[in-house]
């Protein structure tokens, strides 16, 4: 069996860079990365170079020295040089295997930890000192719907999503607390899961009495029974996002009069 050993060696050497890159980046696509090919390759090769430099520098700490000449000889087209390099590899398989296994493990674990630290300490916030380096620019929905751009002290408690959806040719306004969101393979939003959902017809906005008061615009919603309400993003005409904060009231505060979610007519009357 013939196979291109130099190509295999290059592949094994570059692979950790691509593993590292894919684990570090937060992108909103599950199966496809739409980054330009040149960027993917250059980042992968760069990370591979960095990882090899670090691993080679760490070898003496484990009582070993990486012999780079063997790797270079494996890439040679001279069969004599190639054969000697293969013999050298054969005599130290456990060492080389240890190097690559630890390198691949590091390429998987290290970026995962780095990404966790970036998220935990919010180093990627839009106004953070390190956002130019750590911000995941390929994940705009992540920042919009998880509150990752807020300072920890000012973080809202929940997100209220209001979506206009056409139901049987009539536009309805659906409003609820955003619970989860899912992406399609190409990185676009697939569906939103709301809870505590209410709805009303959008056409009711056209009534002259409703336009008089913003408070009345919130009335007239009918509660949708159930724990989770799923909206397919393809069917959403427009989506409004509001961040809401809950604070413990410092003193006794008057409660607003109890209102039914389905009390438009009583409120208007």
Partner 1 sequence: MKALKSPLAKQLLSNPRTREQLRQVPSSTGETRVVELRNGRTQHYVVRVVPKAA
Q: Which residues contact 83 (CB under 8 A, 6 or more apart)?
A: none
Residues 143-202, interacting with partner 1 (CB under 8 A) = 143, 145-147, 149-151, 154-160, 162, 177-183, 195-196, 198
Q: Which of 90, 120, 127, 168 binds partner 1 (CB under 8 A)?
A: 127
Rounded to 5 degrees, φ, ψ at 72 are -65, -40
* SS3 at position 27: coil
Q: Which residues contact 210 (CB under 8 A, 6 or more apart)?
A: 204, 216, 217, 220, 268
Nearer to partner 1, 35 or 162 (CB): 162
Rounded to 5 degrees, φ, ψ at 150 are -85, 150
Task: State the distance between the two ends of the chain, measured CA to CA, in whole angstroms.
Answer: 87
Q: Which residues contact 10 (CB under 8 A, 6 or more apart)?
A: 75
148 closest CA partner among 170, 169, 131: 131
How far apart CA 205 and CA 184 sit, in angstroms, is 33
Residues 238-257, interacting with partner 1 (CB under 8 A) = 241-249, 252-256
Site map 89..118 versus partner 1, x via CB under 8 A: ------------------------------
- Give the tokens for residue 94: 């456990």
Nearer to partner 1, 52 or 125 (CB): 125
Q: Which stretch binds partner 1 (CB under 8 A): 41-49, 74-82, 104-112, 140-148?
A: 140-148
Least distance (Å) between residue 20 CB and partner 1: 22
Site map 50..79 versus partner 1, x via CB under 8 A: ------------------------------
Which helix H or strand E contains 227, and what residues bound it?
Answer: none
Q: Does 226 bind partner 1 (CB under 8 A)?
A: no
Q: Does 134 bind partner 1 (CB under 8 A)?
A: no
Q: Does 1 bind partner 1 (CB under 8 A)?
A: no
> Which residue matches tokens 């427009």?
238
Positions in the binding site for partner 1 (CB under 8 A): 125-127, 142-143, 145-147, 149-151, 154-160, 162, 177-183, 195-196, 198, 214-215, 217-218, 221, 223, 241-249, 252-256, 259, 261
């Amino acid at each position: 069996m013939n196979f291109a050993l130099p190509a295999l060696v290059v592949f094994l050497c570059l692979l950790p860079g691509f593993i590292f890159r894919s684990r570090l980046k937060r992108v909103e696509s599950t199966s496809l990365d739409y980054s330009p090919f040149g960027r993917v390759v250059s980042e992968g090769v760069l990370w591979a170079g960095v990882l090899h430099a670090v691993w080679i520098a760490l070898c003496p700490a484990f009582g070993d020295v990486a012999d780079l000449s063997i790797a270079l000889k494996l890439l040679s087209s001279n069969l004599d040089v190639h054969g000697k390099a293969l013999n050298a590899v054969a005599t130290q398989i456990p060492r080389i295997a240890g190097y690559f296994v630890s390198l691949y493990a590091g390429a998987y674990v290290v970026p995962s930890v780095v990404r966790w630290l970036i998220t935990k300490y919010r180093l990627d916030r839009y106004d953070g000192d390190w956002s130019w380096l750590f911000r995941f620019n390929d994940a705009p929905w992540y920042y919009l719907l998880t509150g990752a751009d807020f300072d920890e002290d000012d973080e809202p408690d929940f997100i209220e999503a209001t979506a206009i959806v056409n139901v049987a040719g009539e536009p309805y306004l659906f409003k609820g607390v955003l619970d989860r969101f899912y992406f399609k393979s190409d990185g676009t939003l697939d569906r939103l899961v709301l809870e505590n959902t209410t709805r009303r017809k959008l056409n009711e906005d056209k009534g002259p009495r409703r336009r008089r008061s913003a408070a009345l615009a919130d009335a007239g919603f009918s509660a949708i029974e159930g724990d989770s309400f799923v909206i397919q993003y393809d069917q959403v005409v427009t989506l409004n996002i509001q961040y809401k904060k809950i604070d413990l009231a410092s003193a006794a505060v008057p409660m607003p009069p109890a209102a039914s979610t389905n009390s438009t007519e009583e409120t208007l009357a």
